[in-house]
Amino acid sequence: MPDRTPNPARDAAAKPVRRCPICNRPAANEVRPFCSPRCRDVDLNRWLSGSYVIPATEGDEDDVE
């Protein structure tokens, strides 16, 4: 019968390490998916300043006739 007791070392080895989308360091659980509050704030600033934009061309809207 396989051992079903929790083993953090084994569980950590089975899961891939999540990387911070800003600096690519390992993510911290407290500010996941980021590695630090600084990277979280950098991402928020990019959203608020409009850096994350999906480009659109004129005519993409559905014209209702």
Of the chain, the percentage scoring pLDDT greater than 70 comes to 72
Q: Which residue has the higher pLDDT, 9 or 52?
A: 52
> Which tokens belong to 38?
């600084």
| Boundaries of every domain in the chain | 16-49
**For 3-41, b where at least 16 C-beta lie within 10 A, e where not — what string?**
eeeeeeeeeeeeeeeeebebeeeebbeeeeebbbeebbe
pLDDT recorded at residue 3: 62
Per-residue confidence at 8, pLDDT binned at 50, 70, 90? low
pLDDT recorded at residue 64: 57
Query: For the whole model, what pTM was predicted?
Result: 0.59
- Backbone φ and ψ for 19, nearest 5 degrees, come out as -110, 145
What mean pLDDT do residues 38-64 have? 84
pLDDT recorded at residue 20: 95
